[in-house]
Amino acid sequence: MVNESVNNCRNEAAAIILGAGKGTRMKSDLPKVMMPVHGKPMIKHIIETLTSMKIQKIVTVISADGELVKKEVAPYQTVVQAEQLGTGHAVNCAKSVLNGFDGPVLIVFGDTPLITAKTFQKTIDKIREGFAVVVLGFKPEDPARYGRLVMDGDELTEIVEFKDATDEQKAINFCNSGCMGFDGRYLFEILSRIGNENAAHEYYLTDAVKIARQLGLKCTAIVGDSKEIASANTREELAQLEEFYKDRENW
């Protein structure tokens, strides 16, 4: 049951930024989200986009040694993910701040600095239409090994990891970016049901779609630009983000 004291949150939106990643593959001592794109840390671009939308409840999940990230996102709140136990676990770390919040909640990876306010707003709008989970998808020229989004009309029925996909599902070119939106009324209930019965013993956020549907809730996906949802795990990908940033006006 929704807490009556937070009903006024329905007209607000919140965001959880996942910023606990290391910069190991970047060959840097900096946290990954602090690597610069166009002269600013990647996470700063996300914060600026969210604040331009007047989203005031922004929570960043940081690692135990994430002081640099904490300073960068101030005055917005941070929570610590002491152990990296998967994306579902990371989002659940924000429960202490957002438990009881019943408006739309955006889940943003801190290394995806180019997602536009327009795309974030489309996600929020879908939640307000009645979808409990909204996944940001994209249609790359080469779907490669991305997870596939299985649609039935405007409803998302399943996220299938490439390694688990059938040949028919591998033919789908609608892919998962990782970024999502949730109706805050159901977010932590869904997260509480995600298990870690997998090879890595991690809690995967992608399982949220299956669980939401088991609860009788509706899920959908929206299409973002492939450049817009690009992330960076390596120096080469960081350089590519720089090029995409310069070309934003032509998307």
Q: What pLDDT is attached to residue 48?
A: 97
Q: What pLDDT is attached to residue 251?
A: 63
**pLDDT digits 0-9 by tens, 86-134:** 999 999 999 999 999 999 999 999 999 999 999 999 999 999 999 999 9
Every domain of the chain and the residues it spans: 13-250
Between the two ends of the chain, the Cα-to-Cα distance in Å is 43
Q: What pLDDT is attached to residue 51?
A: 97
Q: Does the domain made of 13-250 have the CATH classification 3.90.550.10?
A: yes
**What are the angstrom distances between the C-alpha of 93 and each of 67, 141, 168, 198?**
17, 35, 36, 20
- List the structure tokens of 75: 């005055």
Alpha helices in 53-201 (DSSP H): 67-73, 87-92, 95-98, 117-129, 167-170, 187-192
Q: What pLDDT is attached to residue 28?
A: 77
Q: What is the DSSP letter of 24?
A: G
The residues of the chain scoring below 50 in pLDDT are 1-7
Q: Which of 25, 145, 235, 248 is catalytic?
A: 25
Catalytic status, residue 25: yes
Q: What pLDDT is attached to residue 192?
A: 97
Distance between CA 151 and CA 154 in Å, rounded?
A: 7
